[in-house]
Amino acid sequence: MADIDFVRKLKGELKAWISEGIIAPEQEERILSRYRVLEEAEEKAGSSTLITVISVMGSILIGVGVILFIAANWSMIPRAGKLAIIFLSLFATYAAGWYLRYEKKTFPKVGASLILLGTIIYGAGIFLIAQIYNISVHYPNGPLMWGLGVLPLAYLLKFRSILLLSLLDLLLWMGMETSFRLEGHDSFFSFVALYLASGLMFWAVGLTHRKFEPVKGLAGPYVVLGVLSVFVAGYAFTFEVDRWRLGSPGLAVFYAVIAAAFAVSMMAFLLPKNREKGWVAEAAGLSGLMALVCFWIIPGLLVPQGMPDHYSHEESHSIIANLVYAAMIVGIIVLGYIKRYNAYINIGILFFVLDVIARYFDFFWELLPRSIFFIAGGIMLLAGGIFLEKKRRKVLASFRLEELA
């Protein structure tokens, strides 16, 4: 099916074809006239991306509305009535979504949003039932059952939106569940290390998805969430690393599952079929980081009694963390360049800027008078922004040129 993105790309291609003498200018006109209707529709009625965004927002608003309606009319609606609302709206949205997208095919985008709404109502159902029976508000099983319950739908329909919802639920569950097992100030480092490990696992699972045609389209949410977790956690470690508090015996089950999922994904990723450019570098980088996380986690895991009572700030491990983080930034930008992933480059640059800001604060806060500190910092960031933006444009433009060449 031709969409407006295709027409836009086609226009660019046609220019190149004319300049290379493959087609004559009047042929360009004839080719483009086939798609004129599409372009006019786009101009008059708004873009298809806009439709998707609007209908997804609509779904989320309705989902929130259903939850609020039932919550606010708590005593007016009998228990059976509340449950009836949940079940009826669950079936109605799923049925309408299916009808519009797959049966009638008249409004496929709105249909997809309705199915997404169905998965939100399912989650609302879990929490409302928990509320009716006074199950604790800190209810980690809720997000777990929500995430696992909608995951099969994401795979059946190949919906990235539902997959993203499911993975976010699972990450949320992990945070809630571990905060039950960890308490006090000790927990921070174990928490960050766990998210770093699970980020690496998601990343690896995403890469493996890309190798297999049927699930290739679902790689995105895994990779993006994975990369973001890894970089946010890595960023936190550039401030301080307490080697004795990175691992916690209470999280042993999580470590085992994450390590197993990572190992299986890595093995599948290394299979000879459908290898992407830069696969060696990416596999080596991910495995190296995972090895470092294991090296950090194990002391706290094996000798919980051996840990010092106070924070043991070991300079050497902070230096390692900072060096590794710098290598991660360079690595992901280079990988983005090799694999032609704009997302990698953008994420790399974002965290590079954050790192510069953090280190600037670390080093100069004490040394410079406040006013000069802020003015100099501002100028540095503005200049850096211009430089990076130029660089980024150049890199992205070179992708397009290479594609044309």
Partner 1 sequence: MRTKYILLVVLQALFLVGMIGMKQAWIARGEKIKLKTVPVDPRDIFRGDYARLNYDISSLDLDSLGCKETFQRNDKVYVAISKGDKDYYEAVSVSSKRPAEGLYVAGKTKYGQRTNSKWEVSVKTEDGTMKTFHPQWFYGMKKDDTVVFCIDRQGNVQNSMKENAEHSQKCYGEEVVTVKGVIEEVVETKYQTMDVQYGIESYFVEEGKGRIIESAPRSSEVLVEISLNKKGKGLITGLYIDGKRY
For residue 33, the SS3 value is: helix
Shortest separation between residue 70's beta carbon and partner 1, angstroms = 11
- The nearer residue to partner 1, 67 or 227, going by C-beta atoms, is 67
Determine if 83 is a binding residue for partner 1 (CB under 8 A).
Answer: yes
313: left (phi over 0), alpha (psi -120 to 50) or beta: beta
The binding track of 96-135 with respect to partner 1, each residue x by CB under 8 A or -, is --x---x---------------x---x--xx--x-xxxxx
Q: Which is nearer to partner 1, 138 or 394 (CB)?
A: 138
Q: Position 367: which residue type? A: L
Using CB under 8 A, which of 20, 33, 44, 75 touches partner 1?
Answer: 75
Rounded to whole angstroms, the Cα distance separating 262 from 198 reads 9
Which of 91, 239, 311, 365 touches partner 1 by CB under 8 A?
91
Smallest separation (angstroms) from partner 1 to the CB of 253? 13
CA 197 to CA 295: how far, in whole Å? 12
| Smallest distance, partner 1 to C-beta of residue 39, A | 33
Residues 167-206 that bind partner 1 (CB under 8 A): 180-181, 183-184
Task: Measure CA 316 to chain center.
Answer: 31
Instruction: Establish if 157 lies at the interface with partner 1 (CB under 8 A).
Output: yes
* Nearest CA among 97, 86, 154, 153 for reference residue 124: 86
Q: What is the DSSP string of 170-233?
A: HHHHHHHHHHHH--STTHHHHHHHHHHHHHHHHHHHHHHHHHSGGGGGGHHHHHHHHHHHHHHH
**Site map 133..152 versus partner 1, x via CB under 8 A:** xxxxxx------x---xx-x
Whichever of 196 and 301 has its CB closer to partner 1, that residue is 301
Question: What is the distance between the alpha carbons of residues 282 and 280, in angstroms, rounded to a whole number?
Answer: 6
Q: Is there a contact between 278 and 225 (Cβ–Cβ < 8 Å)?
A: no
What is the contact surface with partner 1 in residues (CB under 8 A)?
71-75, 83, 86-87, 90-91, 94, 98, 102, 118, 122, 125-126, 129, 131-138, 145, 149-150, 152-153, 156-157, 180-181, 183-184, 250
